[in-house]
């Protein structure tokens, strides 16, 4: 399978502190990778470098063959990114913000309307389409962030805590949507919810102290007698993984 996401020896230093330390992995079309780790492990920093929002100190990251540093526009055309906190323009309405995001992506007229409508339909935002984003609940704001990531129908999705703030029914709906999209995309999901990995992910990558310590399908971990909960607990308590 051709890798749509390639991370090769990616490293990020802040002064004497190394947040991400020589991380390498790839994600092919059809894979949904759960990216886990304790707080401060380097998850969000890795995702920001992959999305081109932070320059690496060393190593490379490519999206659909485009280097995120050397070919940033080409790489970002192929990427849908839901960052931590799902930042938006809070005074805008949902439809206004998604229309703005679509115009930045180069869509106009009927094509823009189609894409905004489709993104709202997939994330079930039609009922709040004219509401200012600042008046929405945390869960709805998260869905607006997810809608903008899906708007241009990219082959690669990088989603940081996509179900954060959602109620159980909304979590189920987003997980169903991810499963529906998975065959045509390469998807990375950063999450602290272990059940989410079992529900939607074909692979689990666990990072600790900036380095990858586990890269395996959840089923393989279970067969070896090591559940995700066991591995994660050992990392958060400082025991040997």
Say what angle helices 138-150 and 109-123 make with each other, to 10 degrees: 140
- Whole-angstrom CA distances from 136 to 120, 139, 237 are 15, 8, 37
**Residue 40: what pLDDT?**
85
CA distance linking residue 35 with residue 175, whole number of Å: 15
CA distance linking residue 179 with residue 32, whole number of Å: 8
Secondary structure element (H or E) that encloses residue 195, with its range: helix 194-200
CA distance linking residue 149 with residue 156, whole number of Å: 10
Kind of pairing, strands 211-216 and 203-208?
Answer: antiparallel
- Domains of the chain, first to last: 1-78+157-241 (3.40.50.300), 90-153 (no CATH)
Phi (first) and psi of residue 100, to 5 degrees? -60, -45
The three state secondary structure string of 12-58 is: EEECCEEEEEEEEEEEECCCEEEEECCCCCCHHHHHHHHCCCCCCCE
**E strands, 136-210, in order:** 156-160, 186-190, 203-208
Q: In what order do the strands lie in the sheet with 3-14?
A: 17-28, 3-14, 58-63, 66-67
- pLDDT tens per residue across all 241 residues of the chain: 689 999 999 999 999 999 999 999 999 999 999 998 888 889 999 999 999 999 999 999 999 999 999 999 999 999 999 988 777 899 999 999 999 999 999 999 999 999 999 999 999 999 999 999 999 998 899 999 999 999 999 999 999 988 888 888 888 999 999 999 999 999 999 987 778 888 899 999 999 999 999 898 877 766 655 566 666 666 655 544 4
CA distance linking residue 46 with residue 9, whole number of Å: 11
Secondary structure element (H or E) that encloses residue 4, with its range: strand 3-14
Contact at 8 Å (CB) between 146 and 85? no
**Residue 241: what pLDDT?**
43
**Residue 85: what pLDDT?**
77
| Tokens at 56, concatenated | 């690496």
**Residue 236: what pLDDT?**
59
């Amino acid at each position: 399978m051709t890798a749509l996401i390639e991370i090769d020896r990616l490293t990020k230093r802040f002064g004497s502190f190394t947040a991400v330390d020589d991380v390498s992995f790839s994600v092919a079309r059809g894979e949904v990778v759960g990216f886990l780790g304790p707080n401060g492990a380097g998850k969000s920093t890795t995702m920001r470098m992959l999305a081109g929002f932070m320059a690496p100190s060393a190593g490379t990251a490519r999206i659909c063959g485009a280097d995120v540093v050397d070919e940033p526009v080409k790489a970002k055309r192929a990427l849908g990114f839901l960052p931590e906190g799902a930042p938006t323009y809070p005074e805008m309405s949902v439809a206004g913000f998604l229309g703005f995001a679509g115009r930045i992506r180069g869509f106009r007229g009927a094509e823009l309307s189609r894409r905004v409508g489709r993104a709202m339909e997939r994330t079930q935002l039609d009922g709040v389409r004219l509401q200012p984003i600042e008046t929405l609940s945390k869960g709805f704001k998260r869905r607006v962030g997810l809608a903008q990531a899906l708007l241009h129908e990219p082959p690669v999705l990088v989603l940081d805590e996509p179900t954060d703030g959602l109620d159980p029914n909304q979590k189920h709906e987003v997980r169903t949507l991810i499963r529906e999209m998975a065959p045509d995309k390469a998807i990375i999901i950063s999450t602290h919810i272990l059940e989410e990995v079992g529900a939607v992910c074909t692979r689990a990558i666990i990072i600790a102290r900036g380095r990858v310590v586990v890269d395996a399908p959840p089923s393989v971990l279970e067969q070896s007698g090591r559940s995700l909960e066991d591995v994660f607990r050992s990392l958060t308590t400082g025991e040997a993984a």
